[in-house]
Structure 1
Amino acid sequence: MQVLRSALALAILALLLGGSVTGGAAWWYHEVSRPPAHPLAAPVTITVSPGMNPRQIGGILRTAGVIRSAFLFRLLVGFYGVAHRLQPGSFQFTGRETPEEAIAALLVGKAETVRVTVPEGLTQAEIALILEANQVVPAASFTAAINDRALLSAVFHDWGEVPNGEGLAFPETYQFNRDSRAEEVARTMLEFTRLVVDRVASGSLPQGLTRYQACVLASVVEREARRDAERPLVASVFLNRLSRGMRLESCATVQYALPEQKDRLTYDDLKVESPFNTYLRAGLPPTPIANFGKASLAAVASPSVSDFLYFVSDDAGGHRFSRTLAEHERSRRQFFRDRRQRKLHETRKPR
């Protein structure tokens, strides 16, 4: 087979050189079709970006010392008619490959992959930075792709209006090629969200919520509750408030509206003008405020049955739930007392 391929390559070389293969041309082909004379000291990783042509790829391989001739690389790619099949991605070479072996590696697409974990409770901007840090896709490209209206309409075609992709990149551990196409990465995450929502929230939802509205509320639950066991109760509080025409008054939505996160909100922060400030605006925020996990979505789909209307942190990772404003105020005062006690205890610890 190798003899046949060499003969074919020589034939095409003859055509390019004017109809015959001279002794010099044959010698040239014999030299440049072999692996480099001096193998690389260590394997080298070559990155082929989407849209690169054989001339560019051959130049990269030649510069890196993987092949002897970029011209022969282009010649062979054209002769075999595989230019359109060269795969983007990151490829490792030892410098012992022939040009044909290098082409074969690029055809098979043994691209370098990376496992990327996307946690719950992140904005799309934070997810974009994770993807960029892992060399999957530039942050700006991912942000543009996940907010593409055509892509959102294709994935969520029966959901009605989906303004943008915020909160719809599902938390999971993904495996991507390095230097992936932004649209493929965004589509993978959006379709995963669609799959989970269809499984967890496919039936009739509380108070006639649409699936997109369930995602919006699930994102608020995600940001407010730390313990999975409390999420159904937190969801019930928000649903109870919605049913009574009360504002959600979620601190998490205010944090999203602010230019940067704060450890503690001030009363002035609660007055920030934003459609996401649920201390001022009635109803749900216009979009999710973060991505959400299955537990938060399940909590919205099947909330606890309660008459709670308020909750406040217990300064221990959980919450105290209240039915009346008076109970809530007592819980708030208890929270501040507990926090002062904790800080006092911490300052007295020996160092």
Structure 2
Amino acid sequence: MTGNKNGKNKDANKDNEKIKHKEKLIERQKEASLVRKIVIICFLVIILTVAGATYATYKYVMNAIGPVDETDEEMITVEIPIGSTSTRIGSILEEEGIVSNGTMFRFYVRYKNEGHFQAGEYELARSMHMDEIIETLKEGVVYEDYALSFTIPEGRWLEEVFERIADETNLEEEDLIELVQDEEYIDSLIERYSILTDDILEEEIRWPLEGYLFPARYDFVDDEVTAEQVIEAMLDRTAAVLEVYAGDTGYSFHEIMTIASIIEGEARNDEEREVISGVVHNRLNINMALQMDPTVAYAHGEHLSRTSYEDLEIESPYNTYHVSGLPVGPINNPGEASIRTALQPANHNYLYFYHAEDGEIYLSESYSEHQQILEEHRD
């Protein structure tokens, strides 16, 4: 009898254990199901939150770049002063109610790589899309009858810039030169313009504002201008271009303008600018001497038809055959294309280039390849 009881008890215990085990499994399955539900809910919440934020951002941006009021076609006269940056233009447009957000205008202009807005009076409406406003500011015919105009080509030295201004205006070259040598005036410009730093005060720099006098056409409504007006109009244009292209490059504005001036001195066309910029950046990245001939000419203070070995021996903070890295400052006044490519160089491994008389530019990655190219194309 005892044996039968023990057997029954064992069977009962096993059944109880099975029941408990099954209950635990059911409980775990419920817990796992609950966890899965929680995870799915959290995931959906995150997706909905991100989607909501994305949609809200999209709506905000679209509203900001869209018309302020599609139904309001009344034309409003808006004046854009000479030398206005995109930041200043955005503020004016916001003040006049043409755009809803001046800062968004500046960001949108930078995103679209737009610039060179014309100064003058415009008829704009609150029903205009931001793209329409930008095109109007670029293409509008304004100030048709200027009392005074002059044009500065790319790549000119400061002395040449002032000589041309003196030829086309009421100003004297000596007065312009005297002004840019006035330390008090230069200090005041540094305080006003973020693109100007104490780097331009380096003792060995020939002209503090070399590189910053933007080459372009300048128009004035008065038949007489001051030297300050002319210089500051040119600085405004440089600041506006840098505002469009400059980002976190690791280089200061002074270094950017110096690189741009070397590109301007070396490149024959826009296609070459990106390639030559890539060579300059590649050399700087490995601490290799730049050895650019235009810096030698600037060191001598005269344009050289051909750079001789004797020319290379001049000791100067501008001569990149002798100094490491960049010269002490810009060697001319570069245009927009050179500034842009200084900030956006071509991605390649070339360290050398040679301009042949046939008009072609020959690139090479090693000195031996470069020497071979020279032997093939030089007399």
1:157 CA displacement: 3.4
Question: Out of 230, 236, 247, which is 2:278 matched to?
Answer: 236
1:259 CA displacement: 3.1
1:237 CA displacement: 0.5
Counting only pairs closer than 5 Å after superposition, residues 156-195 of structure 1 correspond to structure 2 as: 156-157=193-194, 159-163=196-200, 164-176=208-220, 177-195=222-240
CA 1:183–1:237 in structure 2 vs 1: closer, same or farther (change >3 Å)? same
Structure 1 unmatched runs, 5+: 1-110, 338-351
Q: SS at 1:320's partner residue?
A: strand
Aligned to 1:221: 263
Aligned to 2:357: 315
Q: What whole-Å deviation, never above 9, does each CA across 1:220-277 have from its counterpart, x for those lacking one?
A: 0000001101111101101111111111000000010113212111101001011000
* Contact in 2 for aligned 1:152/1:165 (Cα 8 Å): no
Aligned counterparts of 2:170 and 2:374: Cα–Cα separation in 1: 44
1:156 CA displacement: 2.6
Q: SS at 2:362's partner residue?
A: strand
Aligned counterparts of 1:123 and 1:174: Cα–Cα separation in 2: 17
CA 1:158–1:263 in structure 2 vs 1: closer, same or farther (change >3 Å)? closer
Q: What is the identity, as a one-letter code, of the residue corresponding to 1:212?
A: H
2:288 paired with 1:251: no
Question: Out of 130, 143, 153, which is 2:190 matched to?
Answer: 153
Q: SS at 1:260's partner residue?
A: coil
Q: Kindly, what percent of the aligned residue pairs are identical?
A: 31
Q: SS at 1:174's partner residue?
A: strand
Q: What is the identity, as a one-letter code, of the residue corresponding to 2:161?
A: I
Aligned counterparts of 1:170 and 1:160: Cα–Cα separation in 2: 17
Aligned counterparts of 1:187 and 1:145: Cα–Cα separation in 2: 12
1:125 CA displacement: 0.3
1:159 CA displacement: 4.8
Q: What is the identity, as a one-letter code, of the residue corresponding to 1:161?
A: D
Q: What is the identity, as a one-letter code, of the residue corresponding to 1:127?
A: V
Question: Out of 148, 160, 164, which is 1:130 matched to?
Answer: 164
Aligned to 1:141: 175
Per the normalisation by structure 1, the TM-score is 0.61
Q: What is the identity, as a one-letter code, of the residue corresponding to 2:244?
A: R
Q: What is the identity, as a one-letter code, of the residue corresponding to 2:187?
A: A
Counting only pairs closer than 5 Å after superposition, residues 38-53 of structure 1 correspond to structure 2 as: none
Aligned to 2:371: 329
CA 1:199–1:155 in structure 2 vs 1: closer, same or farther (change >3 Å)? farther
Aligned to 1:265: 307
Q: SS at 1:120's partner residue?
A: coil
Aligned to 2:242: 197
Question: Out of 323, 344, 349, which is 1:281 matched to?
Answer: 323
* Contact in 1 for aligned 2:258/2:331 (Cα 8 Å): yes
* Contact in 1 for aligned 2:282/2:349 (Cα 8 Å): yes
1:112 CA displacement: 7.5
CA 1:159–1:112 in structure 2 vs 1: closer, same or farther (change >3 Å)? closer
* Contact in 2 for aligned 1:146/1:187 (Cα 8 Å): no
* Contact in 2 for aligned 1:253/1:278 (Cα 8 Å): yes
Q: What whole-Å deviation, never above 9, does each CA across 1:269-317 have from its counterpart, x for those lacking one?
A: 0010110000000011111111111111111111111110011112233
* Contact in 2 for aligned 1:142/1:185 (Cα 8 Å): no
Aligned counterparts of 1:321 and 1:283: Cα–Cα separation in 2: 21
Aligned counterparts of 2:372 and 2:189: Cα–Cα separation in 1: 45
Aligned counterparts of 2:271 and 2:237: Cα–Cα separation in 1: 24
* Contact in 1 for aligned 2:189/2:196 (Cα 8 Å): no
Structure 2 unmatched runs, 5+: 1-144, 201-207
1:178 CA displacement: 4.0
Aligned counterparts of 1:133 and 1:236: Cα–Cα separation in 2: 37
Q: What is the identity, as a one-letter code, of the residue corresponding to 1:180?
A: V
Aligned counterparts of 1:282 and 1:122: Cα–Cα separation in 2: 24
Aligned to 1:304: 346
> Which structure has the larger Rg?
2
CA 1:178–1:258 in structure 2 vs 1: closer, same or farther (change >3 Å)? farther
CA 1:212–1:331 in structure 2 vs 1: closer, same or farther (change >3 Å)? same
Aligned counterparts of 1:182 and 1:330: Cα–Cα separation in 2: 51
Aligned to 2:84: none
CA 1:330–1:232 in structure 2 vs 1: closer, same or farther (change >3 Å)? same
Q: SS at 1:141's partner residue?
A: helix
CA 1:330–1:188 in structure 2 vs 1: closer, same or farther (change >3 Å)? same
1:318 CA displacement: 3.8
Q: SS at 1:223's partner residue?
A: helix
* Contact in 2 for aligned 1:230/1:318 (Cα 8 Å): no
Q: What is the identity, as a one-letter code, of the residue corresponding to 1:149?
A: I
Q: What is the identity, as a one-letter code, of the residue corresponding to 2:158?
A: Q
Query: Aligned residues, how many?
Result: 224
Q: What is the identity, as a one-letter code, of the residue corresponding to 2:210?
A: E
Q: What whole-Å deviation, never above 9, does each CA across 1:71-95 have from its counterpart, x for those lacking one?
A: xxxxxxxxxxxxxxxxxxxxxxxxx
